A and B are shown apart, each in its own frame.
Chain A
Amino acid sequence: MTLIHLFLTLGGLTVAGFFIGRSKAFSVCAAQGGPSALHSRPFYYGTLTSIWCAVPALIVFLFWHFFQSTIIMEMVIVDLPDPIRFLPDARLNLIVNDIKNIVAGNIVSVQVNPAIQGAATHYRSLEMTAQAALGVIITTISMAAIVGVCLKITPNFRARNHVEKVVEVLLIACAVLAVFTTIGIVLSVLYESIRFFKIVPIHKFLFGLEWSPQMAVHAEQIGSSGTFGVVPIIFGTMLIAGIAMCVAVPLGLMAAIYLSEYANGKFRRIAKPLLGIMGSIPTVVYGFFAALIVAPAIKDAGDILGISVSSASALAAGVVTGIMLIPFVVSLSDDVINAVPQSLRDGALSLGSTRSETIINVVLPAALPGIVGGVLLAVSRAIGETMIVVMAAGLSAHLTANPFEAVTTVTVQIVSLLVGEQEFDSAKTLAAFALGFVLFVVTLILNVVALTVVRKYRAHYE
């Protein structure tokens, strides 16, 4: 039977199992005065039956499917005529692919000779037998499970405990998935990075001063062996992140101070949602804004003032990244400033200081660890920002501190290496993964430092 029929049968058996289990529970307790004699509610007996019906069958199904194609192919190869069977591995793999293509109904690479055609028919018949066998086995297993569980149902049978154990296992699996995601990220990026570092040594990568990612396609190609030194890229990233921080931190901090200390209710009710809107605008919109409105404006201003400004200046990208980060800094600082107890402020005010003096001399120092942590998190976000810099910053890796020139960042290089603005070549895609690894490690360190700073230096009030 086909896959869909199989799943439908399994589903039907599971539902049937639920009702069978439940009715069995009702019947065993009838002699002892009804459902109150049961250990668990009848629902649990039914659920346990369906779980036992479905889960072993699914496991068997997965295992079978995983190994089915390999085993069938082995059986088909054994039956091939002798000259083909003893071909070297590479040729044999081609023949195997041809057989698979014929079975799937695709076009074949070589002339179809009767031996291969016969092998394909053999494969198909074996496949059908296997499917039928699988169907029979799974139906048998599920029915046997239903019968087995029903036999065990007695009024003292603790069905609820078993069902709850299964639920807990499920919950743990979901929680562990988050860990698996991190492991997956680290392993996949690390694996490709190690492959890259076999081609380009790590010290040349980390300390090289020139980034020109090209690989010679063949030995005689002139002028296309590239260098993979990340220093100019890291510099560009720091330049843009620095400009962003110069915009975001003063504006964000002062805005947070005003909102929490000076603003009255009406002002706060309008300003906070507006800042929330600002924070939920996608970065591609900010990138659009930067590329099509801010960058030309800065260029025009530079032309008027006589400074030569690139059309993809670091200033444009940095300023817009800073604007994007303002709501982030405001929300983090706002939480921290509000957490400072009122008693400190009252004490300072009662000694005669003005509001601003209280804030500068009492509240801010008390909130400083949280603010520093927030700034570090904002730096981490600025470094990881992709769309604004892809749309507004350049691709050329200059090592410069001039904000009017075009620089490139780590994220822009990752995108351009993998999105095919340059040729899709294995060493270059590996370079993208190496850059991604660097990015991941740096943001991880920043996040961990931010959290430790907040935890270690936070003064505990009452």
Chain B
Amino acid sequence: MVKKGLNKRQRKERRFRFFGCAAIIISLSFLSLLLISIVFNGYTAFQQTVVRLDVFLDTDVIDKDDLASANYSKLIHNSLLSVFSDVTKQTDKRKLYGLVSISAAYILQDFVAKNRDEIGTTIQIWVPADADVDMLMKGHIDLDKPESQRRIDDRQLAWVDQLVRQGQIKKVFNKTFFTAGDSREPELAGIRGAVCGSFYSLIVTLALSFPIGVAAAVYLEEFAVKNRWTQIIEVNINNLAAVPSIVFGLLGLAVFLNLFGLPRSAPVVSGLVLALMTLPNIIISGRCSLRAVPPSIREASLGIGASKVQMVVHHVLPQALPGMLSGTIIAMARALGETAPLLMIGMVAFIANIPAGFTDPSTVLPVQIFLWAGSPERAFLEKSSAAIMVLLFFLMVMNGTAVILSKIFQKRQ
């Protein structure tokens, strides 16, 4: 009788084991789906389409003594018309001019300013293509859709084909993505402003939360008498670690912006908010590292006559520091990816300049991703995904450093 039930139970056992394995496989496949779709959408952002224009630097348009007031757009338009001389209607001309980015005129202006002796000749410059042409070249435009539903109509398609045949259009490495700040035009948008803003914010966060967190952890673990007050502090810290991050944003808005009057959307404020958010995590991980130091070290130090402060500073803290450092790096990685509290303190504004200091208005990389993801243009989807790849890269570097650090110091012990 036992044997009869045995097969059934063995089958149940195998099914159960299968479910467990399937759960892990399903979870990890969600992860790979996420990463693959982001890379698939984003890898094309690292290339940019550029168009070669032969521009005649007409002396009628450019006045040698007053370079700034020349109508460089007209020169660009003339150059385009010279390639496609059959375009006559005004609406068609506008479509033709829309093949290149509006920054082409500024690029031409910079070139003329640096090469004044070329005025009067025909020069060759490569200018960025408009975002729609960029999407077309990267294959993101669905050519099966009817013309009215596309951003590139058939005439523009023919023009681009001609440029391809004449070798006047190609894809190059997208330096603008890394050197430019945000822009309304997708082909000119870059992450430099957001990366600088993130960098300044993290510096402020680190400078505030690491010393205070370590000091608090040292006090709670080594010096505090175990009475009701320290219990309250402990419960408090554990609760703070689990509070949703958006509540910290509300705190930042109410206290730092309204009460203290700090500049809105500045790295100082975002650093302060993130410092408050990461402080409980650093305290908790700091306490874990301090607890990991064997009591024999403490006893030995006290035994040779050190005072309590000397024991902690000279013997316990150096041993616990690697663990604290790796916990801090992990907390900083979390702070790098935080978006919600920073939305509350005003970082949603469109900021095209690169922040130069801690009080300049800026944005951070996750918020930039959020802003770009909300834009309906297809080109911004690509930029969003590429920015996510950059963000994930930074996070992997930081988490990897923390893991390597803890492994090195574990081996030492």
Task: Spell out B's residues near A (CB within 8 Å).
Answer: 9-10, 12-13, 16-17, 19-24, 26-28, 30-31, 33-34, 37-38, 41, 211-213, 215-216, 218-220, 223-224, 232-233, 236-240, 242-248, 250-251, 253-255, 259, 276, 279-280, 283, 307-309, 330, 333-334, 336-340, 343-344, 348, 366, 369-370, 373-374, 381, 384-385, 388, 391-392, 395-396, 399
Contact = CB atoms under 8 A, between A and B. Distances in A.
A387 B340 contact: yes
B226 to A, nearest CB: 14
B337 A282 contact: yes
Per DSSP, chain B at the interface is: helix
Interface of A: 160, 164, 167-168, 170-172, 174-179, 181-182, 184-185, 188-189, 191-192, 250-255, 257-259, 261-262, 271, 274-278, 280-289, 291-293, 323, 326-327, 330, 354-357, 359-360, 377, 380-381, 383-387, 390-391, 411, 414-415, 418-420, 432-433, 436, 439-440, 443-444, 447-448, 451
Nearest to A326: B27
A195 to B, nearest CB: 11
B394 to A, nearest CB: 11
A324 to B, nearest CB: 10
B250 A254 contact: no
B384 to A, nearest CB: 6
13 contacts: A189-B251, A254-B23, A258-B24, A283-B337, A283-B339, A284-B339, A284-B370, A323-B34, A356-B16, A357-B12, A386-B245, A414-B344, A420-B348
A439 B232 CA distance: 22
A356 B31 CA distance: 27
A289 B388 CA distance: 11
Contacts of B243: 185, 384, 440, 443-444
B19 A254 contact: yes
Contacts of A359: 16
B17 A258 contact: yes
B232 A179 contact: yes
B309 A175 contact: no
Contact of B220 (A175, A185, A262, A380): A175
B340 A386 contact: yes
Contacts of A167: 309
A178 B216 contact: yes
Contacts of B223: 168, 171-172
Q: Which 7 pairs between the two chains have the least Cβ-Cβ distance? A: A384-B244, A282-B337, A258-B20, A356-B16, A254-B23, A171-B219, A174-B215
Contact of A414 (B250, B251, B334, B348): B250
Contacts of A285: 34, 38, 337, 369, 388, 391-392
B244 A439 contact: yes
B339 A282 contact: yes
Nearest to B21: A258
A443 B244 contact: yes
Given A171-B223, A175-B220, A258-B21, A433 B16 contact: no
